[in-house]
Chain A
């Protein structure tokens, strides 16, 4: 053993919490930092934007003559992104659409993470449930998901819209459909982690003093599998946003007066030759948010992995 030279700065440095360490590692990933900045900018655009830019996204001039004059306007000071075929302000529609798109991504991600963690923890912790639950996961993985999503939306959209209103019904349907069809990867990852954790000494210690299974899972297992869940949650937001916009693009998403970025893109396709900007803006927004979220996920995966951290 050689003498370790005394390092004053390291010795006096206050011990940092785990999350400070994670942030320190996250900061070194340039792509992830840019992704985070873009993501925050887009979230601010859709959440704070409407407070600044107060025009209604669904306002159509009731005067028919003025409405016709206000249609398909190029960008101007009144409407920085122009107006659409009914004279609605595109900037306001982009903000409103972004709110729904991001909300769909977040809620669908929460649903799929809750389902995935539940299935994964149950399968990993209780040996008796492992077989059936993993067969179920394999079954879901073998389903052709996009066709099934299309079928689900097509068949349940109208009845749900009738009972819960067109916005609430469609939102609930799409969010549930995406959540129910995207939990499988998370469940597999969580199961693997739980299987390994279950054999560790601290779990054995907890069990030997008579801790019930419920509390072992909540107090000892779950806090230790937060990192993989967070990474797959981030990537889940991206895929949920893409799926929602794909559904909207196929005309099986939200109604036109309740736009999302995907729906705006779908509406713009008809006018792509005359007004390409109407396709470019929503498409760019979808691409940017998915790209930024994917980069954040990449950075998080590195930052949360203690084997990489500090290098």
Chain B
């Protein structure tokens, strides 16, 4: 198990390098380069100086290596400095956003809490709803509960989040006026009143994303439970005279959770990147909104860094899911 993890970690390095190169080249070689954004009326000399100031006049391999160094060496050092008060990164150049001229990572750290509270909460709620539904609809297969659950899961899976979000806004914000339609990022929770306001503005986005996540996870849970309910060991457990609750919630559930746990782990990266649309619908000022804004402003360093962070998360959680699978299921041997 340990050697497997080590091997996968080592394999992740070339994967990430190739991904970073792909992202860098795609963004950089595209026709919409920063040089074409500068108006043609700007004199050639000034244009050169602008490009120089942005660091966009260097050859591409120099910029790629510089960006790699900044991402993997300078930024971690800055983080170490900020935590322990040391000065390793003194005088080193950080990745700067072309939009605001401030370090990209500072902006990301600023936006991260919004994404984590709304989208992370939605994922937790989604999982908590999905598991009991999946368990019960597998236990009572083809009952009316199962039929309705399957249909709702299909709808939640098929209807795009921007439409469910808009419908919820129409019903609960425009017609009923129960919840605000726009997420107020500057709200600080200081007392009971502001806490209630925070909860009220979180209800709609969390509901939309939770429905979407729950519909996927509940289907996995149901399928996995169905696989296990027909196994011989279930019959043995019942024949021993164990109570039904023990059979289902201990024996079957534990075995069924193995694939579901990995599915849940695989979905975590989407918390950071996949909720772009929902953030846009409810105007949550998180990472997704940051990415959209950076794309529209041709802020190449920001786009490259954010996209690469999403890729790193996907690779890491793929690895975690595989290792978890091996840890949870002794039948899986990687070595």
Contact = CB atoms under 8 A, between A and B. Distances in A.
Interface of A: 31, 138-139, 142-144, 146-148, 150-152, 154-156, 158-159, 238, 242, 245-246, 249-250, 252, 265, 269, 272-273, 276, 279-280, 283-284, 286-287, 290-291, 294-295, 298
A242 B159 CA distance: 9
A152 B166 contact: no
A150 B31 contact: no
A152 B310 contact: no
B225 interface: no
Contacts of A273: 174
Contacts of A31: 154
B311 A142 contact: yes
A138 B15 contact: yes
Contacts of B155: 287, 291
Given A139-B19, A148-B23, A150-B291, A246 B277 contact: yes
A2 to B, nearest CB: 28
Given A143-B19, A158-B32, A287 B162 contact: no
Given A147-B291, A158-B31, A276 B170 contact: yes
Q: Which of B22, B166, B315, B318 has the most CB of A within 10 A?
A: B166
Contacts of A146: 273-274, 276
A142 B314 contact: yes
A151 B26 contact: yes
Interface string B161-189: 01100110110001000000000000000
B31 A156 contact: yes
A142 B26 contact: no
Contacts of A246: 160, 162, 277
A155 B33 CA distance: 8
Question: Chain A interface mostly helix, strand, loop or mixed?
Answer: helix
A142 B298 CA distance: 24
7 contacts: A139-B19, A150-B292, A150-B295, A155-B27, A156-B30, A249-B162, A279-B170
Interface residues of B, number: 42
Interface string B291-306: 1100110100001001
Interface of B: 15, 18-19, 22-23, 26-27, 30-32, 154-155, 157-160, 162-163, 166-167, 169-170, 174, 269, 273-274, 276-277, 280, 291-292, 295-296, 298, 303, 306-307, 310-311, 314-315, 318
Given A138-B15, A143-B311, A144-B311, 18 more contacts: A139-B18, A143-B314, A146-B273, A147-B306, A148-B26, A151-B27, A152-B30, A154-B295, A154-B296, A155-B31, A159-B32, A245-B160, A249-B162, A272-B169, A287-B160, A287-B163, A290-B160, A294-B154
